[in-house]
Amino acid sequence: MKDYDVIIIGAGNGGLAAAVTLSLRGKSVAVFEKHNLPGGCGTSFRRGRFEFEVALHQLSSMGTSENPGPLRKQFREYGIENQIDWIEIRDLFRVNLPDGRGYTIPADRRKAEQSLSESFPEEKHSIHRYFDTVWRFCEEANAFAEKSAASSGEPPALKKLIMKTLFPKLYPTLAKYGLRSTQDVMDEFFKTKELQLCLSAYWCFMGMPPNRFPFSILAKCTYIYLTDKPFYLRGGSQVMSQALTETIRKNGGDVYLSDGVAEILLKDGAACGVIDEKGREFRCKKIISNISPTMTYTRLLKKNEIPFSARDYLKPYTVGISALTCFFGLDCPPEELGFTNSFTLNYDSLNANEDFLGAYSLLPEHDPIVATCYTVDDPEGSPAGTSVITAGSLKYSAPWEALPPEKYHEMKFKAADIIITRLEKQYPKLREHIEELEIATPLTHMRYLTHPGGAIYGYEQDLKSSVFFFPTESRIPNLEFASGWVNACGFGPNYMYADKVAKRIAEEADVK
Ligand SMILES: Cc1cc2nc3c(=O)[nH]c(=O)nc-3n(C[C@H](O)[C@H](O)[C@H](O)COP(=O)(O)OP(=O)(O)OC[C@H]3O[C@@H](n4cnc5c(N)ncnc54)[C@H](O)[C@@H]3O)c2cc1C
C-alpha cells in the first residue's frame, strides 16, 4: 500500500484545510473519510426542489475582496476564492422577543451602536462603552496571542512571575474580562434584559447559555463578524468542501471517501500509519485527526495503547451540545412570511439562561429557537418564488438516545410541530407554505459525524474550558489534532486552525 507524509482522519473543514495546506507545500497526503461525501458538518442535502444547508449560518473572517479577512486570504492562497460565489449577509441577526417586538443588529459597528441606542436611549452611554470594551479586549487578546506565539517553551519561574505582575498593566481589559461569563459582563453594562439578549445572542453559536458562555468568545464573535462581516455562499457549504477536495486531488493528494480509519498504528509508542475500514494498511510520518480526541484515543487505538496521560488530560472536558433542526422548503418568497433578516433568535421569555435548560429535554417547548432564512440575502438560493428556512434549537443527545426506536419518527415530527407552532406567533403564515420538511435530531448528527453525543461544537466551551484552555495537545508522538474539538469550533476557526497546524508540520524536519 501507498506511504504518505501525512494521513488525515476525517474530511471535515479542519481535515480538508490541513490537507490543502500540506499538499500545496509538496507533501504527500491522504484524507480518509467515513461518509460518502467530504465536508463533515460543511455539507448540504436535497429534498424535492430544495437544497438544504446543514450547518453554515454565518461564515466568519472573510472580509471583502478589497479588505480581505484572514480566511479569504487563506482561500486566495488555496486558489479557490474566485471559484465561489460569496454572499455578504446584511445584518448580524434579529432578536425576536415574547411581546412580539424584535431588534435587528446591522453588520456594521457604527450602525449597530446607533440602532441599539435608538431602541434603548437610556442605555446609550453603556452601549458605546460596551463596544469600546469589546474592541479593546480583542485588540489586547490579539497582541497577547502574537507575543505568546513569538516565544517558545516553558518560561523560567522568574519570567513567569514578572509576566504575572505585568499582565494586568499590559493587557488591562483582557485581565479584567478574560475569565468572566457573558451574563456577568451583560449585568455590569446593561440594566435592560431586552438589550442584554440583543448583545449576547452569539451564545447560541457555541451552545452555552449566557451565564456559562465565556465573554472572551462572545467578544471575539462580535468583533470578527462586525469587522470581517458574516458571509454565506451560493450552493451552501458543500461547495467549499468540494472545492477543497478538488484542490487536494489536483495537488496530488488522495481523498478516500466511504473509507474511515479503523485503527491507528503505533511503533514504539509513536503513530506511524493507519488501517482503513477495508482492512488496508497505510504508513505515514504524521497523522492529523479531524475527529475528537476522545474518539481518536478510545476507538482508534488498542485498549492497552491508550496513554494514561490522555485520560487525565481530557478528564475536565465534557462532550458538548447537539441540535434539533427543521429544514423547511417554502412555496413563497421570504417577505411573504415576514422574514426580513437572514438569522433570527426567537425567545419565549426574557430569561435565556432558564430557557436554555430545555436543551436537556426531548422536545423544544421553551428553548430559544434559531431560524435562518437563506433566501433573504440570496434570493437565488432556492427556485424563483420560494424560500428555504432552517429552524431549531440546541439539544443534548441523552433524551434522544434514550428514546425507544419505534417512537423516534413520531417524536421528531412532534418536535417539528412544536417549532412550527412557536414560530407561527411571529410568522403566522409559515405552516401553510411548507412544501418540504426534513428534521435532523442529535441522533442524525451522531450518525453522520460519528461524534460522541452528536456534538456539533466539540467539547463544551464554558469558563473552565474556554479559548484559553482548549485541549490542543496530543499524548502520542506524530499524532496531531485539527478539529472543532481542540479550538473555537466553527467553519472559519477550523479552517484557520488546521492551516496553522499543517504549516507547522510541513516545516518539521521529519516531514520535510
Ligand atoms: C447545525 C449546525 C450549525 C452550525 N452553524 C455554524 C455557523 O453558522 N457558523 C460556523 O462557523 N459554524 C457552525 N457550525 C459548526 C461547524 O460546522 C463545525 O464547527 C465545523 O464544521 C466542524 O469541523 P471539523 O473540522 O471539526 O470537522 P467535522 O465537520 O466535525 O467533520 C469530521 C469528519 O470526520 C469524519 N469521521 C468520523 N470518524 C471517522 C473515522 N474513523 N475515519 C474517517 N473519518 C471519520 C466524519 O464523517 C466527518 O466528516 C454548525 C454546525 C452544525 C452541525
Is 474 found in the same domain as 397?
no
The tens digit of pLDDT for each residue in 232-249 reads: 999 999 999 999 999 999
Residue 154 domain-assigned?
yes
Taking the C-alpha atoms of residue 380 and residue 231, their distance in angstroms, rounded to an integer, is 15
Beta strands 281-289 and 479-481, pairing class: parallel
Q: Residue 500 Cα, ligand 1 centroid: separation in angstroms?
A: 18
The tens digit of pLDDT for each residue in 265-293 reads: 999 999 999 999 999 999 999 999 999 99
pLDDT at 154 over 80: no
Residue 455 domain-assigned?
no
Is 159 found in the same domain as 66?
no
pLDDT at 511 over 80: no
Q: Residue 449 Cα, ligand 1 centroid: separation in angstroms?
A: 7
Residue 458 domain-assigned?
no
| Residue 32 alpha carbon, nearest atom of ligand 1 | 43
Write down the pLDDT at residue 100. Answer: 92
**Domain endpoint, select from 228, 261, 291:** 228
Ligand 1 pocket test target in 59, 290, 459, 487 with most atoms within 8 Å of CB: 290
Q: Residue 207 Cα, ligand 1 centroid: separation in angstroms?
A: 14
Is 17 found in the same domain as 118?
no
Ligand 1 pocket test target in 89, 291, 325, 396 with most atoms within 8 Å of CB: 291
The tens digit of pLDDT for each residue in 457-503 reads: 999 998 887 777 888 899 999 999 999 999 988 999 999 999 999 99
Q: The cell 441606542 sits on which residue?
A: 117
SS3 363: coil
Write down the pLDDT at residue 471. Answer: 87
- Residue with CA nearest ligand 1 atom 10: 490
Beta strands 261-267 and 322-330, pairing class: unpaired
Residue 301 domain-assigned?
yes
Grid cell, residue 179, equals 475569565
| pLDDT, average across residues 375-388 | 95
SS3 201: helix
Write down the pLDDT at residue 103. Answer: 97
Q: What is the domain count for the chain? A: 3
Taking the C-alpha atoms of residue 242 and residue 16, their distance in angstroms, rounded to an integer, is 10
| Residue 15 alpha carbon, nearest atom of ligand 1 | 25
| Residue 39 alpha carbon, nearest atom of ligand 1 | 49
Q: Specify the DSSP class assigned to residue 155.
A: P
| pLDDT, average across residues 57-86 | 97
Backbone φ/ψ region at 258: left (φ over 0), alpha (ψ -120 to 50), beta: left
Helices 70-78 and 13-24, packing angle to 10 deg? 50
Confidence of residue 156 (pLDDT cuts 50, 70, 90): confident
| pLDDT, average across residues 421-428 | 95
Q: Name, in order, each residue with C-beta under 8 angstroms of 58's C-beta and a sequence gap of 6 or more.
A: 89, 92, 205, 225, 230, 231, 232, 342, 343
- Residue with CA nearest ligand 1 atom 49: 40
Listed in sequence order, the DSSP H helices in 438-490 are 442-449
Q: The cell 463596544 sits on which residue?
A: 131
Write down the pLDDT at residue 512. Answer: 64
Cα→Cα distances 343→230, 371, 403, Å: 10, 6, 31
The tens digit of pLDDT for each residue in 113-126 reads: 999 999 999 999 99
8 A C-beta contact, residue 433 and residue 330: yes
Residue 456 domain-assigned?
no
Is 445 found in the same domain as 336?
yes
**Minimum mean pLDDT among 166-170, 222-226, 263-267: which range?**
166-170
Is 422 found in the same domain as 345?
yes
Is 327 found in the same domain as 437?
yes
Ligand 1 pocket test target in 9, 35, 41, 53 with most atoms within 8 Å of CB: 41
Write down the pLDDT at residue 153. Answer: 66
Grid cell, residue 41, equals 458538518
Residue 81 domain-assigned?
yes
Listed in sequence order, the DSSP H helices in 29-171 are 70-78, 109-119, 124-150, 157-170
| Residue 261 alpha carbon, nearest atom of ligand 1 | 42
Confidence of residue 2 (pLDDT cuts 50, 70, 90): confident
8 A C-beta contact, residue 182 and residue 215: yes
Write down the pLDDT at residue 152. Answer: 66
Phi, psi values for residue 105, rounded to 5°: -110, 110
| pLDDT, average across residues 372-383 | 95
**Domain endpoint, select from 186, 212, 228:** 228
Residue 345 domain-assigned?
yes
| Residue 299 alpha carbon, nearest atom of ligand 1 | 41
Grid cell, residue 456, equals 456539533
Residues with CB under 6 A from ligand 1: 9-15, 32-35, 40-42, 55-58, 60, 260-261, 290-291, 323, 325, 445, 449-450, 456-457, 483-484, 489-492, 494
Taking the C-alpha atoms of residue 102 and residue 100, their distance in angstroms, rounded to an integer, is 7
Confidence of residue 29 (pLDDT cuts 50, 70, 90): very high
Taking the C-alpha atoms of residue 395 and residue 150, their distance in angstroms, rounded to an integer, is 40
Is 116 found in the same domain as 74?
no
Is 172 found in the same domain as 107?
yes
Cα→Cα distances 277→49, 282, 410, Å: 35, 12, 34
pTM surpassing 0.75?
yes
Grid cell, residue 122, equals 437610556
Structural domain range at position 379: 321-449
Give the chain's mean pLDDT: 95
Is 439 found in the same domain as 385?
yes
Q: Residue 455 Cα, ligand 1 centroid: separation in angstroms?
A: 9
The tens digit of pLDDT for each residue in 249-258 reads: 999 999 999 9
**Domain endpoint, select from 181, 200, 228:** 228
- Residue with CA nearest ligand 1 atom 2: 55
- Residue with CA nearest ligand 1 atom 15: 490
Is 445 found in the same domain as 326?
yes
Is 299 found in the same domain as 223?
no
As a whole-number percent, the residues of the chain with pLDDT over 70 amount to 99
Is 290 found in the same domain as 245?
yes
Which CATH number does the domain housing residue 488 bear? Answer: 3.50.50.60
pLDDT at 86 over 80: yes
| pLDDT, average across residues 337-342 | 94
Write down the pLDDT at residue 217. Answer: 94
CB atoms within 10 A of CB 302: 10
Residue 121 domain-assigned?
yes
